[in-house]
Amino acid sequence: MLADLLFLLFSSVLLIAALGVITAKNPMHCVLFMILSFFNAAGLFILLGAEFLGLLLVMVYVGAIAVMFLFIVMTIDIDFAVLKGKNTNIVPMGILVSAVLLLELIAGAWGGMFHTPQQQTKPVMQEENAQILGEVLFTDYVVPFQGAAIILLIAMVGAIVLTHRRRSGVKRQDITKQIQRKKSDCMIVTEPPAKSGVAAAYFVGKGVEK
């Protein structure tokens, strides 16, 4: 009863938020709508009894991934109105493709695509969600699990290969060098004779020309 009501709440807000993602003019609002939709999806997960997945969705997607999205959208300056104005010539093609996909989906729905077969509606385990998930993940699904880990590693390698570069001409902090520096390396106390000015004072140190 209450669960139905909550389902209604979560799913309707989810749909509205998802609509907001694609209709909002400001990209920042798009991302915020996306976060809202993640939240409601997490709510749906929890309603289904998969609390661990729900909380993980909040932790990983909302807490980390969407933050990166927000970051990127914040730091690049895109004006969606300009973008939209440019691409009018592909609109008919887009409509055509969407229409075909829509027809396919309607045909699919006709064939019972969205009806869940009976064997699938097993009661979700209430107790120790995470433990059960872990046991399955490390036994039956160990290959895809490890495979996914390797994919992440590849993505990391890729990010480094494609973006990391050692620029020359940049001053870098070298901690060991800093620590090993002694007073005598960089400082000298002199007593220049009076009235001879700066010329008589000299300064020597590592990396400093006289």
Partner 1 sequence: METIQLLPILPEIFLAIWGMLILLFATGTSAQIANRAMVMTFVGLFIALGLQWEGIGHTDTLPLLKVDTFSRFVGGIVLIGGMGLSLIARDFLTRHQYHRGEFYVLLIFCILGIRTLIIADSLLTLYVGLEMMSFCLYILAAFMRENAKSSEAGLKYFVLGSLASGVLLYGMSLLYGLTGDISYTGVAAGITSLIQAGEPLNPALIVAFVFILAGILFKLSVVPFHMWTPDVYEGAPTPVTAIMSTLPKLAAVALLMRVLLEPFATLQNVWQPTISLFAMLTMVGGSLLAIVQTNIKRLLAYSSIAQVGFLLVGIAAGTGTGFAGALFYTVTYIATLLGLFAVLLQLRKRAVDIENIGDFTGLGRTHPVLAGILLLCLFSLAGVPPLAGFFAKIYVFQAAMESGLLGLVIVGVLSSAVAVFYSLKLLKTIYFEKGEQQWDAAQPLQLRLVSITGAALTLGLFILPHPLWKLAMQAVQGWF
Partner 2 sequence: MLDLVLSYLDLITEENIWYVITTLFFVLLITLPLFGAVAYLTLAERKVIGWMQLRHGPLYTGWWGIGQPIADAIKLMFKEPTIPEKSNLIVYILAPVMVLVPAVVAWAVIPFDANWVLADINLGVVYLMAVSSLGVYGILMAGWASNSKYPFLGAVRSGAQMVSYEVSMGLCLLSVILLAGSMNLSEIVLAQQGMWNAVTLFPMFIVFLISILAETNRAPFDLPEAEAELVAGYNVEYGSMPFAMFFLGEYANMILMSAFASIMFLGGWLPPLDIWPLNLIPGIFWFFGKIAAVLFFFLWARATLPRFRYDQLMRLGWKVLLPFTLLWLVGQAFIMKLMQVGWV
Give the footprint of partner 2 on this chain (CB under 8 A).
1-2, 5, 26, 28-29, 32, 35, 51-52, 55-56, 58-59, 62-64, 67-68, 70-71, 74-75, 128-130, 173
Three-class SS state of 208: strand
Nearer to partner 1, 91 or 107 (CB): 107
Cα gap 162→155, rounded to integer Å: 10
Q: ∠ CA(48), CA(136), CA(134), 5° rounding?
A: 80
With CB under 8 A as the contact rule, the residue among 28, 67, 109, 137 that binds partner 1 is 109
Nearer to partner 1, 167 or 183 (CB): 167
Cα gap 126→51, rounded to integer Å: 9
Rounded to a whole number of angstroms, the distance between the first and last alpha carbons of the chain is 84
* Count, residues near partner 1 per rule CB under 8 A: 35
Cβ at position 138, least distance to partner 1 in Å: 10
Asked if 42 and 54 touch (Cβ cutoff 8 Å), the reply is yes
Q: Which does 154 bind (CB under 5 to 8 A by kind): partner 1, partner 2, none?
A: partner 1
With CB under 8 A as the contact rule, the residue among 4, 92, 110, 194 that binds partner 1 is 110
| Two tokens, residue 101 | 């996909």
As a residue count, the chain comes to: 210
Cβ at position 93, least distance to partner 2 in Å: 34
Longest dimension (CA), the chain: 101
Which residue's entry shows tokens 């907001």? 20
Nearer to partner 1, 91 or 113 (CB): 113
Q: Which residues contact partner 1 by CB under 8 A?
A: 104-105, 107-114, 116-117, 119-120, 139-144, 146-148, 150-151, 153-155, 157-158, 160-163, 166
